[in-house]
Amino acid sequence: MGDLTKNFSRSEFACKGAVCCDHSSPVSRRLVRGLQALRVVVGAPLTITSGFRCRKHNRKIGGAADSQHTHGTAADIAAPAGWTPADLARAADALGLFDAIGVYPDRGFVHVDVRGVRSTWGYVAGRLVTYEEGLRYEQK
């Protein structure tokens, strides 16, 4: 049982920086509601690999200067067993609950956020590609 929704707890969104912050985890309720709906569609637990990031940790890992993670409005989700990142991205997109979706097929995860404007992308082999290219990518 989660303290945010049936399946998600605030601790899953805490900053993963080593010693750079107090590991607080402000998180958008809209984001968590979308993730709960996605979890129902997937029918399996979803692992949040990156939720909230303090600005220091975000800089350390090379995150975008004004990353949605620093606002508590984004989550990176590992593709669960039996799901490819492309499948997970398509399911998230079909729900229509997220404003932005990034698919990282060779890294095994999907980024979702509620930034207020529509945005999609793919990221393959260390470079930004279109969302459609990210969906088509198959790891060799």
Q: What is the pLDDT of residues 70-80, one digit of tens each?
A: 999 999 999 99
Instruction: Give the model's pLDDT for residue 20.
Output: 64
Q: Is the pLDDT of residue 23 over 70?
A: no
Mean pLDDT of the chain: 93
User: pLDDT of 63-103, one tens digit each?
Assistant: 999 999 999 999 999 999 999 999 999 999 999 999 999 99
Instruction: Give the model's pLDDT for residue 26.
Output: 84
pTM of the shown model = 0.93
Classified as helix, coil or strand, 120 is strand
Instruction: Give the model's pLDDT for residue 139.
Output: 60
Residues 6+ apart with CB under 8 A from 121: 102, 103, 128, 129, 130, 131, 134
Q: Is the pLDDT of residue 133 over 80?
A: yes
At the topology level of CATH, where does 10-136 sit? Muramoyl-pentapeptide Carboxypeptidase; domain 2 (3.30.1380)
Nearest to 4 by CA among 61, 67, 59, 72: 72
- Residue spans of the domains in the chain: they are 10-136
* Region 115-139 average pLDDT: 94
Rounded to the nearest 10 degrees, what angle do helices 29-42 and 85-95 cross at? 120
